[in-house]
Amino acid sequence: MVEETRVVIVTGGGRGIGKEIVKQLAADGYALVVADLDADAAKAAADELLAKGFKAVSVQGDVAKKEAHENFVKAAVDNFGRLDTYINNAGIAQVKTLQEETPEDMEKIYGVNVFGTLYGIQAAAAQFCKQDDGDKIRKIINASSIAGHVAFDLLGAYSSTKFAVRGLTQAAAKELGKDHITVNAYCPGIVGTDMWDLIDKKMVEEKGGYKGQYLKQYSKLITLGRVQTPADVADYVSYLASPKSDYMTG
């Protein structure tokens, strides 16, 4: 548990990994701004926390738009008075060969995964620099991926965006360190979510085979012998958001 209530924004917090992060950080004692493109999902996630006595508010917005991030920050300040941590969790995948990618495809995935991360960094840093926090550490946490370390076939565009997130994370860490802002990224592997169900389905369409085949195939590469759960990711994000990681950046 943190000693005082900290305020965190989680984008894509209405479902999947994001929702699990929201639940974990609420249990850790944070006040939550649950941001999602799906207003109903965001509200449902926030209402679930409120029903358990946690502090939460929901806000709808498209992370590919700069003004959405400014609205997320405004929601944090209006409801809780400040901001301590910003988690750029929202992301989308595409399963196509590089030959099939269109300008529209690339604009969409880069808009969400790369520009969405950049805008979140900008909005968070702007708010942090407005606050009179002395040498208190504030945090930006971004979602990269195993695909940001090793590119996968049929996930070329997605992989390239996650490599880009790693680059933004490292550069932001160097630029913002002087302002007592740390910037880190988490890199989930194969997580049992709707996104991987979609990836598996599209791979069957492209390569043949049967439902579940590719999830099973890639899972065999995992040392612990099982797919990652959203809770596994949330546990690590909990560490990154906590004071225990205050000396960790980039």
Residue linked to tokens 């498209």: 62
Q: DSSP readout, 137-203?
A: -EEEEEE--GGGTS--TTBHHHHHHHHHHHHHHHHHHHHHGGGTEEEEEE---SB-SHHHHHHHHHH
Q: Cα dist. 34→66, 81, 130 in Å? A: 17, 16, 22
Contacts 24+ apart (CB under 8 A), 170-175: 170/250, 172/121, 172/125, 172/140, 173/249, 173/250, 174/250
Q: What is the rounded distance in angstroms from the CA atom of residue 179 to the CA atom of residue 15? A: 32
Q: Which residue has the higher pLDDT, 210 or 8?
A: 8
What is the pLDDT averaged over residues 119-139? 97
Residue type, 216: K
What are 141-156's pLDDT values in tens digits?
999 999 999 998 889 9
At the fourth CATH level, the homologous superfamily of domain 7-189+229-245 is NAD(P)-binding Rossmann-like Domain (3.40.50.720)
Is there a contact between 54 and 26 (Cβ–Cβ < 8 Å)?
Answer: yes
- Token code pair at residue 79: 């409801």
Most confident of the ranges 1-15, 160-174, 200-214: 160-174
Q: Which of 58-62, 137-141, 152-156, 161-165 has the weakest average pLDDT?
A: 152-156
Q: What is the rounded distance in angstroms from the CA atom of residue 62 to the CA atom of residue 166? A: 21
What are 194-232's pLDDT values in tens digits?
777 777 788 788 888 888 887 778 777 788 888 889 999
Q: What is the rounded distance in angstroms from the CA atom of residue 102 to the CA atom of residue 176? A: 35
Residue 221's pLDDT is what? Answer: 76
pTM equals 0.93
- Token code pair at residue 234: 């949330």
Catalytic pick among 158, 186, 214, 218: 158
Torsions phi, psi for 54 (to 5 deg): -85, 165
What percent of the chain has a predicted confidence (pLDDT) above 90? 79
- Mean residue pLDDT across the chain: 94
Residue 3's pLDDT is what? Answer: 54
User: Is residue 247 flagged as an active site residue?
Assistant: no
- Token code pair at residue 186: 């988490």
Residue 87's pLDDT is what? Answer: 99
Is there a contact between 52 and 22 (Cβ–Cβ < 8 Å)?
Answer: no
pLDDT for 187 beyond 50: yes
Residue 199's pLDDT is what? Answer: 77
User: Is residue 218 flagged as an active site residue?
Assistant: no
Domain ranges in the chain are: 7-189+229-245, 192-227
